[in-house]
Amino acid sequence: MQTEKDPKFEKNEGKEFIKRSLDLAKSKRVERERKTPAEMVQEALSGKPEAIQEMVQGDYDRLRAKISDENDLREEVDINSERITTSYYDSKLEMPNGSLSKLHAVNKIDELLEGESTVEDLKRMARISFDLNGLKPVNDLNSGDHSKGDQYLELARDTINDTLASKEAKKFINDHGLNIDTLLSRDGGDEFGLVITSDKPMDQGFLDGLTDMMKDNLWKSEKAGEILDFSREDILLNFLGIEEADFKKFYDGDLNKVKKDFGIPEDFKYRAAFSGKGSTLYEALNDEENDKVRKLSEEDDIVKIKQAFMGAMFSTSDRGMDEDKKRFKKQLAEKEFGTPEYAMTQVYSRNERERELNRENEELKKQTRSLTTTIEAIREERGGGNCPHCGRSLIG
């Protein structure tokens, strides 16, 4: 149903709005025309990761070789720069996303295949997969305040970057006789990936040592306890599922009493934790789980082969990450009642219990829909399913 148009708006505000819109568009067009295509490229590159800068610059160089008209070139630069930065950039965390990580890995594999590459050279490339534990409780227990979840993700990103830049990590890398280049990406949700290329072969000990360094630094950080603050009454009660009235009635409004009852230390601080594992390209190609690599043949082109190599490296590190997550949760669960680790287990298991309940709920919905369909079919077979004498339904 259409609503009546306001005549006043039609005659006055409407025309003024259209004029303002037109003037804005014209001024922005003039503003853009004052910039050369090269200046537009530099503007698009400002603050972006090196990998994206290389892609935008490469696109511009190709376009400039093909397009002589400056206005046409300007338009293409505008479109392509926007496409690249939105397709390969996580604007929330201001970092490369998973798509760029995969593209970067494929390009590095291509470089690895140049010249006289050997089997040992496959160890000069690796990926570490990270899963940030506990993001959902951070969002949920802060009453759906997702800005806290964003801070939690930023903490994870900064921990990886700060660790790589630390003296400790530089010494560790130097002690292994390596020079490395890295690309960190957010691969979606609570997962991150670190693609590493080196001038010399890397071994599993190096990857595990670097991963453990990042895990330790994240666990030691005090910032997670500020993001999810268990000294706050609302967060603690939300976590334990206790109503405020019951809290006052049974615990006299004393947070320490309720903490003691549920095995949470008085000074409990929430900790952020990574699960993570790395794999070299060599180990990935040797992984029997990567069937796409094992099915490659002479008939496959180089594009498919490079994609299969990249997929294998990502899959092997992801599986290792999943196994590490299971080990981590098992280790926490073995801690005694009343320890910080025990409390952390309760936070994480709350998340697991919610997921399990959601799965059970979805299964019940499916069963209900199936039962409803069966009932409707029986009713049809019985001519509507009503008793010919009293008119009542023959089925409940």
- Extents of the domains making up the chain: 17-87, 95-230+268-334
pTM of structure: 0.75
DSSP class per residue in 75-108 = HHHHHHHHHHHHHSEETTTTEEBHHHHHHHHHHH
Q: Is 192 exposed, middle or buried (0-12, 13-18, 19+ CB in 10 A)?
A: buried
Q: Is the pLDDT of residue 130 over 90?
A: yes
Residue partners of 312: CB distance under 8 A and separation at least 6: 281, 284, 285, 287, 290, 292, 293
Q: Tens digit of pLDDT for each residue in 329-385?
A: 888 888 888 898 888 888 887 655 554 555 566 677 777 877 777 777 776 766 555
Distance, first Cα to last Cα, the chain: 40
User: Closest by alpha carbon to 129, among 187, 192, 189, 216?
Assistant: 192
Q: Is the pLDDT of residue 1 over 50?
A: no
119 secondary structure, DSSP code: G
Percent of the chain with pLDDT over 90: 44
Question: How many whole angstroms separate alpha carbon 320 and alpha carbon 317?
Answer: 5
Mean pLDDT of 231-235: 92
Residue partners of 87: CB distance under 8 A and separation at least 6: 99
Mean pLDDT of 29-38: 64
Predicted confidence at residue 209, as pLDDT, reads: 97
Mean pLDDT of 41-51: 71
Confidence of residue 115 (pLDDT cuts 50, 70, 90): confident
Q: Which of 27-31, 86-90, 143-147, 217-221 has the highest mean pLDDT?
A: 217-221
Predicted confidence at residue 8, as pLDDT, reads: 47
For residue 16, the number of C-alpha atoms closer than 13 Å in the C-beta half-sphere is: 5
Helix/strand/coil for 2: coil
**Phi first, then psi: what are they for 147, rounded to 5°?**
-65, -30
Q: Tens digit of pLDDT for each residue in 263-287?
A: 899 999 999 999 999 999 999 999 9
Predicted confidence at residue 9, as pLDDT, reads: 44
Asked if residues 314 and 252 have their Cβ atoms less than 8 Å apart, the reply is no
Q: Tens digit of pLDDT for each residue in 61-72?
A: 877 777 777 777
Q: Is the pLDDT of residue 212 over 50?
A: yes
Q: Tens digit of pLDDT for each residue in 327-344?
A: 998 888 888 888 988 888
Mean pLDDT of 240-253: 90
The CATH homologous superfamily of the domain defined by 95-230+268-334:
Reverse transcriptase/Diguanylate cyclase domain (3.30.70.270)
Mean pLDDT of 238-265: 90
Predicted confidence at residue 201, as pLDDT, reads: 96
Query: Could you tell me the sign of the dihedral formed by the alpha carbons of 339, 343, 348, 354, in that order?
Result: positive
Predicted confidence at residue 50, as pLDDT, reads: 75
Q: Is the pLDDT of residue 390 over 70?
A: no
Q: Tens digit of pLDDT for each residue in 159-200?
A: 999 999 999 999 999 999 999 999 999 998 999 999 999 999
Predicted confidence at residue 348, as pLDDT, reads: 80
Predicted confidence at residue 102, as pLDDT, reads: 93
Percent of the chain with pLDDT over 70: 82
Q: Which of 36-45, 62-71, 278-287, 386-395 has the highest mean pLDDT?
A: 278-287
Mean pLDDT of 81-108: 86
